[in-house]
Each structure stands twice: as C-alpha cells, then as structure tokens.
C-alpha cells in the first residue's frame, strides 16, 4: 500500500542510517558522497528517501548521487570481487538481464554505465508469475523461494507448460500464458454456472507429489522462457563478451543454472550476484554510485524521485 510504505520510510529512515553507519564502523565524517535509489518505484516512498539523502548531502557538504535501482541490479554481479575496483573492460559489451518481481528486461551494456533496454515483459514480470503460481499452489508469500524448494522434489517434465514466443524477432517476454496453464492444471478449466465462474477443484485436491511436479514444471518453463529471449538477444549482439544478471529472481536455482549453461554454450563469462545481493540492497546502489563518483559524475540538490526507470 503506497501510503503505508511512505509512512514506514519516514519512521525508519534515520534508524536505518544509524544502523548502517554502525555496521560499517564509520561516522558521517567518513562519508565522501551520498547515494540514493531515486527511481523507479513507489513515488511516495522515493520522495522520502531522496529528501533524506539531499538533506544529508547538504548538511555534510558532500555530493548526492541518484541511482536507478534497476541499473544497480545489473551492477550487483560486479561486486563479488573488489567493490571499489572498476569493472574490467573485457566484460563489455555485455548482455544484461534483470529478473525480479517488478521487472523482467534485457539490456545492451556497452559499459557499466552505458546501458540501453532492448526487451521487456509485455505483461507480468517473472517474479510476479512465481508469486501467483505459488498462490495457486497454496504456498505462502514470498512465493519464489518456496516454489524453488518444492520443485526440487518434483519432475520438471511432468507438465509441458507453454513458453511464449511472441514475434520471432521480438526480445520481449510474456508470462500470462504460463500462469493460465498453471491455473488450469491445478484447478481445471473454468465453467459458468448460474452466472458465476467456477473451477472443478483447487490446490487442496492435489497431493504433495502433484504439487511438486507442478512447481518443477513451472520452473522449467520459466527458465526456458528467460533463456529463449537471451539466446535471441545474443544472436543480435555478436560482439557480446559477457552476461550480467541481477534481480531477486536471479537467486532461483533453475534460472541460475539455465543462465550458467547458456554462458558455457556461448563461451561467455556469466556474472551472477551473490545470493545476498540478488534482492534489493544498498550495496549495489553504492557500488554503481562509487563508479560514477570516481568519474566526477554526480547530481545536485535538484535531484528528484521518479516512478519510472531512466533506462530506455
């Protein structure tokens, strides 16, 4: 709920700042610049954090650096070595992939800073599809990790769920058909009875083995959908040297394995984030901001929050 999120940010922003400084073992005097994720997202919450970051930068007489958090996800896989080191030139150009609850998109990355979107989902993000499939199976939120665990016990070929192909040349994703196929597998096809849409059954009618098979088959289809578009993108980018991946769904075992295998087939280095850097985190924001800071690329106090990503 946007209003609740905004109020929660107001309540927590200063305690979080104090906690972060304590964890890092430093004081405000040690800060060289203030980085803030200012887009995309819920505008009310972003306004709170941007105002706090600008106030801190003004008080400390330090520059403020606004970071697109989707861009930062692409940078997360570059933090596994020396976070202060510049990304090696031999990784670029790279194919970037962000997979999360709100985003599923492909990017051409000519450098760590020069990024352009080349494909995105036309309906649900893959993480949203995971959450909805989990809900259909009666699994609690967040659904992604729970489907991943359940899938380890199932047969990934028990159900041949569809992979959306769209136009042969399209680099866009679609997961609505996959969701519908999972729904019909679990609950049967809907019928109209007395003017109401009803289903023949629900997840409670499935045994644990059947649920595991659905989860495993769903994961296989989701991973195939992601890597299918990645293959097409690589076909259009023969100069690609590496694959950069980020976002919460990059923690999923099936998707990680499929991307690693794709990298082997194409002889490309694959940079996946550490598991603790897959979800939204401040480290990836700071890493990307540090790269900009070292190049003198900073913002001023006119920095504004935006609900939209700047990467187009």
- Residue 242's SS3 state is strand
Indicate if 129 and 166 belong to the same structural domain. Answer: yes
Q: What value does the mean pLDDT take over residues 2-21? A: 95
Task: Give the domain range for residue 50.
Answer: 2-75+278-294
Indicate if 148 and 250 belong to the same structural domain. Answer: yes
Domain membership of residue 303 (yes or no) is: no
Indicate if 175 and 283 belong to the same structural domain. Answer: no
pLDDT at 292 over 70: yes
pLDDT band for 215, please (50, 70, 90 cuts): very high
Indicate if 23 and 138 belong to the same structural domain. Answer: no
Indicate if 106 and 249 belong to the same structural domain. Answer: yes
Indicate if 37 and 176 belong to the same structural domain. Answer: no
According to the model, what pLDDT value does residue 53 have? 98
Q: What is the DSSP letter of 93?
A: S
Domain membership of residue 48 (yes or no) is: yes
Indicate if 20 and 139 belong to the same structural domain. Answer: no
pLDDT band for 15, please (50, 70, 90 cuts): very high
According to the model, what pLDDT value does residue 190 have? 65
Domain membership of residue 307 (yes or no) is: no
According to the model, what pLDDT value does residue 199 have? 66
pLDDT band for 214, please (50, 70, 90 cuts): very high
Q: Is the pTM of this model over 0.85?
A: yes
Indicate if 290 and 147 belong to the same structural domain. Answer: no
Mean pLDDT score of the chain, rounded to an integer? 93
Angle at 95 between CA 94 and CA 96, to 5 degrees: 110
Report the CATH number at residue 59.
Answer: 3.30.420.40
Specify burial of residue 214 (Cβ count, 10 A radius: 0-12, 13-18, 19+). Answer: buried
Domain membership of residue 219 (yes or no) is: yes
Domain membership of residue 305 (yes or no) is: no
Indicate if 146 and 46 belong to the same structural domain. Answer: no
The tokens describing 295, both together, are 């190049």
Report the number of distinct structural domains present in the chain.
2
pLDDT at 168 over 90: no
Indicate if 107 and 43 belong to the same structural domain. Answer: no
Name the residue with tokens 């939209």.
308
Domain membership of residue 312 (yes or no) is: no
Tell me how crowded residue 104 is: count the other CB atoms within 10 A of its CB. 30
According to the model, what pLDDT value does residue 242 have? 98
Range name among 7-16, 137-146, 159-168 with the lowest pLDDT average: 159-168
Domain membership of residue 106 (yes or no) is: yes
Domain membership of residue 90 (yes or no) is: yes
Indicate if 101 and 138 belong to the same structural domain. Answer: yes
Distance CA 131, CA 137 (A): 10
Range name among 65-79, 187-201, 247-261, 271-285 with the lowest pLDDT average: 187-201
pLDDT band for 193, please (50, 70, 90 cuts): low
Q: What is the DSSP string of 141-191?
A: SSHHHHHHHHHTTS-TTSS-------STT---B--HHHHHHHHHHHH---E
CB-based contacts of 33, cutoff 8 Å, min separation 6: 57, 62, 63, 64, 65, 289, 290, 293, 298
* Integer angstrom CA distances of residue 292 from 30, 43, 297: 18, 24, 5
Indicate if 17 and 153 belong to the same structural domain. Answer: no
The pLDDT tens digits of the residues spanning 59-84 come to 999 999 999 999 999 999 999 777 67
According to the model, what pLDDT value does residue 194 have? 65
Distance CA 285, CA 265 (A): 31
Q: What are phi and psi of 44, to 5 degrees?
A: -60, -45
pLDDT band for 285, please (50, 70, 90 cuts): very high
- Of the candidates 176, 156, 165, the residue with the CA atom closest to the CA atom of residue 255: 156
């Amino acid at each position: 709920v946007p209003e609740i999120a905004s109020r929660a940010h107001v309540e927590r922003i200063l305690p979080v700042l104090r906690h972060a400084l304590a964890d890092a073992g430093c004081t405000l005097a040690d800060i060289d610049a203030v980085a803030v994720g200012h887009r995309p997202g819920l505008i009310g919450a972003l306004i709170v954090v941007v105002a706090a970051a600008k106030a801190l930068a003004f008080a400390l007489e330090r520059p403020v650096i606004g970071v697109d958090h989707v861009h930062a996800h692409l940078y997360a896989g570059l933090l596994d070595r020396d976070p202060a080191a510049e990304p090696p030139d031999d990784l670029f150009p790279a194919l970037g992939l962000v997979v999360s609850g709100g985003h599923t998109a492909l990017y051409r990355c000519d450098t760590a800073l020069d990024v352009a979107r080349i494909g995105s989902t036309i309906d649900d993000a893959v993480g949203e599809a995971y959450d909805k499939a989990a809900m259909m199976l009666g699994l609690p939120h967040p659904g992604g990790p729970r489907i991943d665990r359940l899938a380890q016990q199932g047969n990934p070929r028990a159900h041949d769920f569809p992979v959306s192909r769209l136009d042969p040349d399209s680099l866009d994703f679609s997961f609505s058909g996959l969701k519908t196929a999972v729904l019909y597998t679990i609950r049967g096809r809907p019928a109209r009875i007395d003017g109401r849409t009803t289903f023949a059954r629900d997840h409670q009618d499935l045994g644990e083995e059947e649920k595991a098979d659905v989860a495993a088959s769903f994961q296989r289809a989701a991973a195939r959908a992601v890597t299918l578009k990645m293959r097409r993108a690589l076909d259009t980018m023969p100069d690609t040297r590496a694959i950069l991946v980020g976002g919460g769904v990059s923690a999923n075992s099936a998707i990680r394995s499929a991307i690693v295998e794709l990298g082997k087939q194409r002889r490309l280095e694959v940079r996946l984030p550490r598991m603790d850097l897959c979800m939204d985190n401040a480290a990836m924001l700071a890493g990307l901001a540090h790269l900009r800071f070292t190049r003198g690329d900073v913002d001023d106090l006119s920095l504004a929050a935006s609900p939209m990503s700047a990467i187009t």
